[in-house]
Amino acid sequence: MPALPRHNVAFYPGSFDPPTLGHLDIALRGARIVDRLIIAVFATPAKNLLFTAEERVQLWRESLALADAPANIEVATYTGLTTEFGRQLGATALVRGLRTVTDFETEFQQAHMYRKLAPEMEIILLVTDLAHMFVSASLVKEVAKLGAPIEAFVPAPVARALRARFSPPQVS
Q: Per the domain annotation, does 133 fall within a domain?
A: yes
Q: Is 172 a member of any domain?
A: no
Total number of domains in the chain = 1
Alpha-carbon span 128 to 22, nearest angstrom? 6
Three-class SS of residue 37?
strand
In a domain, 110, yes or no: yes
Whether the CB-CB separation of 136 and 16 falls below 8 Å is answered with no
CA angle 22/23/27 to nearest 5° reads: 120
* pLDDT value, residue 2: 58
- Indicate the pTM of the whole model: 0.90
Is 93 in contact with 7 (CB distance < 8 Å)?
Answer: yes
pLDDT at 1: 55
Residue 1 lies in a domain: no
pLDDT of residue 101: 81
**Looking at the domain assignment, is residue 79 inside a domain?**
yes
Please give the pLDDT value at position 63: 98
50-53 contact pairs (CB < 8 A, 24+):
50/17, 50/18, 50/141, 50/165, 51/17, 51/18, 51/161, 51/165, 53/77
Residue 124 lies in a domain: yes
Query: What is the CATH classification number for the domain harbouring 157?
Result: 3.40.50.620
Host domain of residue 148: 9-166
Instruction: Please state, in angstroms and rounded to a whole number, the distance separating the CA atoms of residues 62 and 41.
Output: 14
Q: Is residue 171 part of a domain?
A: no
Residues of the chain with pLDDT under 70: 1-7, 168-172
Q: How many residues does the chain have?
A: 172
Is the residue at 47 inside a domain? yes
Please give the Cα distance from 63 to 21 (Å, whole number).
Answer: 9
Conformational region of residue 90, where left means phi above 0, alpha means psi within -120 to 50, and beta covers everything else:
left
- The rounded distance, in Å, linking the Cα atoms of 32 and 120 is 21
